[in-house]
Copies of this chain bind each other. A is one copy, B any other.
Amino acid sequence: MENPISSAVEDYLKAIFELGEKDIKTQDLADSLKFSPASVTGMLKKLSKLNLVSYKKYYGVSLTKQGRLMALETIRHHRLIETYLMQALGYEWHEVHDEADRLEHVISENFEERIAKLLGNPSYDPHGDPIPCKDGIMPQLLGQPLIDFAVGTNIKLTRITKQDSEVLIYLAENELKPGGVFTIEARAPFNGPLTLNKGKKPIPLSYQLAKAIYAQAAI
């Protein structure tokens, strides 16, 4: 009767959470999970029956309070694990995501607590993503997209919202990670690339990429 939650369910809840507050469309979920829309519909019915999701046919889904909490727990696992892999096991930035995607479903409360404590209960992971607290409270998102800053501004990076290996390797090579301080050197018109500088050589970033990198104004 009281079945344990499967990783499939956890993946759906996480994906719904990450698609936002509004009513999520079947298609968007299917794209995000790389499943067929038909499969998604099937699972949504199941999640609905489990009261993890509120689902209106042809209209969209959103998480119930319970489903949201469950999504947050998985995300907490994921982000703690990513932090731990880098901090304690010397993983590179681009290596952590896939590993965390598997581990997040199997670690115990015990494991979670131990690594959280060891890391000093961090509020942000190595990408600058907030790590939800155990009570489901999410630390605030820090910063705004790079493209929102004027040329000449000094900024401190807060968050990188990309996880493609190639991008992360490029960024890591240029020390573009949360905490890094740079100046916005230039910005080409018509959604052209943006150039950062740290005193060394300038670092060009495509418009798309600059939209995915968040920062705060710095001294």
Residue ranges of A at the interface with B (Cβ–Cβ < 8 Å): 85, 88-91, 95, 98-99, 102-103, 105-108, 110-111, 114-115, 118
Contact = CB atoms under 8 A, between A and B. Distances in A.
A91 to B, nearest CB: 7
Contacts of A103: 103, 106-107
B118 A108 contact: no
B90 A114 contact: yes
Number of copies: 2
Contact of A91 (B102, B107, B114): B114
A174 to B, nearest CB: 24
A90 to B, nearest CB: 7
Contacts of A89: 111, 114-115, 118
A74 to B, nearest CB: 14
A108 B100 CA distance: 10
A85 B110 CA distance: 11
A37 to B, nearest CB: 25
Given A88-B88, A106-B106, A99 B111 contact: yes
Q: Which 9 A-B pairs have the closest CB atoms?
A: A102-B106, A89-B114, A99-B108, A106-B106, A103-B106, A99-B111, A95-B110, A90-B114, A89-B115
A171 to B, nearest CB: 20
Given A103-B103, A103-B106, 11 more contacts: A85-B111, A89-B115, A89-B118, A90-B114, A91-B110, A91-B114, A95-B110, A99-B111, A102-B107, A102-B108, A103-B107
Contacts of A115: 89
A110 to B, nearest CB: 6
A95 to B, nearest CB: 6
Contacts of A118: 89
B90 A99 contact: no
Interface centre among A98, A106, A114, A118 (most CB of B within 10 A): A106
Nearest to A111: B99
